[in-house]
Chains A and B, each alone.
Chain A
Amino acid sequence: MNDDTKQDHWLVRPATIRKLWWGFSIVLALTVAAQFFVYVKGYFGVDGWFGFGAAFGFLSCLAMVLVAKVLGFFLKRGEDYYAAGDDDV
């Protein structure tokens, strides 16, 4: 276990993660830039706009995470919530 901290897997070293962020960012930029060359057919107008897929994907995920977060305040309970109910039968 100790040799892990000294020589952790190359995939989780900070340097690799930094490179992954860079690589990922470049890929993201390329997928948007590619729309200069590739025609995206919009079925309803807006979905053919430049970068619509990117914005729509990001924003809908943001919305879903936030909705989940808010609902979580009301819906989340401790793991033994139902088990606790069984005890006082």
Chain B
Amino acid sequence: MFDVLSPALVMFAGAILIGLARGHWRALLVLGTPLVVLWAIWQIPDGVVATVTFLDYPIEPIEGSPLRRLFATIFAVMAFGGGLYAFRQAKWYELSAAYIYAAGAIGVSFAGDLITFFMYWELMALFSTVVVWCGGTPGAHAAGIRYAIMHLLGGVILKVGIEGVMIHTGSIDVQPMLATNFDTWMILVGILINAAAPPVSAWLSDAYPESSPTGSVFLSAFTTKTAVLALILLFPGEPVLIGIGLFMVMYGIIYALLENDVRRILAYSVVNQVGFMVCAVGIGTQMALNGAAAHAFAHILYKALLFMSAGAVIYRTGFSKCTDLGGLFRTMPLTAVCGIIGALAISGFPLTSGFTTKTMISQAAADESLVFVYFMLAAASAGVFLHAGIKFPWFVFFQKDSGLRPKDAPWNMAAAMVLLSALCILLGVFPELLYAYLPYPVEYVPYTAGKVLFYLQLLLFSGLAFFLLLPLMKRTLTISLDTDWLWRILLFKTARAVYLSVASVGSALQVRVGEFLEVLRRRAEGHFGARFARAGVFARAWSIGTTALWIAVLLTAYVLVYVL
């Protein structure tokens, strides 16, 4: 029935075995599984590979296409990088959960029908929650519950949409659609929740920084990027995505500028970067979709690299706030250099992967004469350099001397960072390596003298702005309110107020009812009781004469009524 091995199931099996194995075997499984999966991914041909019938619906668990293989590839590469980074430090259950999470992402990549798509989608939601919980702190526990609620809610919305499409169109194929009716809107909303779109972007910056230093590396890669893939597959050219994407881009920058926690800065910049991709999907031309796919590919690498760099710092120092860190370049030079490479890549500096992919999106906007979008993206590129490109390395590795003198990253963490740094630069210098695997033919030339100069001006003067405006960006021991305030505080307080008022009304009512019953009881006792000096009217002994008289009166009344 199956001519090819399902990469998602291979990953899943590997994840289970990681839990069973010990010592060197476990290390071998952690590093080997993604490589086998990578091989399996490239065995999948274009088109639907196998069909199974389930409840009269044709289930297509594996459907190949260049786009799907591209995303599955980067997910497998990321699992390898994350596994290498984590395998000596993370608990086995974190590794296992992270690999099942990756299996979900790879499963979504190849899902040919909406039922398979949904199953893998939920697998990701469940096991990413476990990864958040592996943070092991009370904060991680609470954040994991909030994260799970948000994603399960998103899953329900997605399911409503899928059911609607199944019933109204009769087709469960994963195919392009537009948000034109209730069903398709529900699917779009369900996917956008995973993309951390407004108004629920806060789940991302709430949960990711609470996970372990190794867990956040995995978390940064899969959920939002499978959402981008789903948008490319299901909603290419959906105009509403342009506005949503631009909002996410600006939201990420502004919140990252306000933030003090290092990993929360990076979490906000995930939203910012996914905004570029969502916007590109909204533009929907071949150039734009290529840009979205390429940028997702590059983004996974450099964002994981940034989280690795931050994770190594947190692992070595135990601190995660800009106010506690600083001056670490002295004793953590490798982590610093890799972090800077990641920061340059996310900013889209020439010769890094960010430049060769992000500029495709800007080019797509320019080709479609979307003036506002183009200038917003250009401003956002400058803003990325500001909030992630300089802010992250500056406050962690330079800034002031915090007095901390931690050792550099352990060898496996260092190896993973060097690997990803090399890939970031490789894709920046030889972009055609990636362009060859994009869904549409690429006629884009990233390196023209004019374009390089424009972006150098843009970025370097953003750098100048950063250092001139540094006094305005003094770190404070604060968090920033987000829309999650509505349910974490407002909804909570409202619910509690309603509960308390209902409870007080209830107890008042109880008192009144009690009083009323007491009155009734007294009355009854007055009539029936015999305890008092003068027994109640029904409790007295009456003479036979009186009784006979009353019976006679009643009978007379009856006869009179009957005759009349």
Contacts and interface: CB of A to CB of B under 8 A. Distances in A.
Nearest to A4: B401
A69 B472 contact: yes
B481 A75 contact: yes
A15 interface: no
B133 to A, nearest CB: 18
A72 B461 CA distance: 24
Contacts of A65: 257, 386, 465, 469, 472-473
Contacts of A79: 477-479
Nearest to B261: A79
A89 B143 CA distance: 17
Interface string A31-69: 110110011110110010001111111101111111111
Contact of B455 (A27, A53, A61): A53
A15 to B, nearest CB: 16
Given A9-B330, A53-B455, A77-B478, A64 B461 contact: no
A58 B401 CA distance: 28
A32 B466 CA distance: 18
Contacts of A58: 461-462, 464-465
B291 interface: no
Contact of B382 (A24, A51, A57): A57
Interface string B441-462: 0000000111101111111111
B450 A60 contact: no
Contacts of A55: 461
Nearest to B477: A79
B401 A54 contact: no
A78 B449 CA distance: 47
A8 B375 CA distance: 43
B258 A53 contact: no
A52 B382 CA distance: 13
Nearest to A82: B488
Given A58-B461, A67-B254, A75-B481, A40 B401 contact: no
B453 A34 contact: yes
B492 interface: yes
A30 B306 CA distance: 30
Interface string B474-489: 0011111110000011
B327 interface: yes
Contacts of B482: 75
Contact of B379 (A41, A56, A78): A56
A56 B458 CA distance: 7
A61 B457 contact: no
A35 B481 contact: no
B366 interface: yes
B545 interface: no
B200 interface: no
B457 A51 contact: yes
Contact of B457 (A9, A11, A31): A31
A47 B379 CA distance: 12
A4 B142 CA distance: 42
A71 B62 CA distance: 47
A81 B375 CA distance: 37
Instruction: Count chain A CB atoms within 10 A of each CB in B398, B461, B473, B492 and give the residue with the most.
Output: B461
B374 interface: yes
A39 B450 CA distance: 5
A64 B457 contact: no
B453 A77 contact: no
Given A53-B454, A79-B477, A71 B382 contact: no
B24 to A, nearest CB: 40
B257 A68 contact: yes
B455 to A, nearest CB: 7
Given A54-B461, A68-B254, A76 B453 contact: no
Contacts of B254: 64, 67-68, 71
Nearest to A60: B379
Interface of B: 142, 250, 253-254, 257-258, 327, 329-330, 366, 369, 371, 374-375, 378-379, 382-383, 386, 398, 401, 403, 448-451, 453-466, 469, 472-473, 476-482, 488-489, 492, 496
Interface of A: 1, 4, 8-9, 11-12, 24, 27-28, 31-32, 34-35, 38-41, 43-44, 47, 51-58, 60-69, 71-72, 74-79, 81-82, 85-86, 89
13 contacts: A9-B329, A28-B464, A34-B453, A35-B457, A41-B450, A56-B378, A56-B379, A57-B458, A61-B386, A62-B469, A64-B250, A65-B257, A68-B254
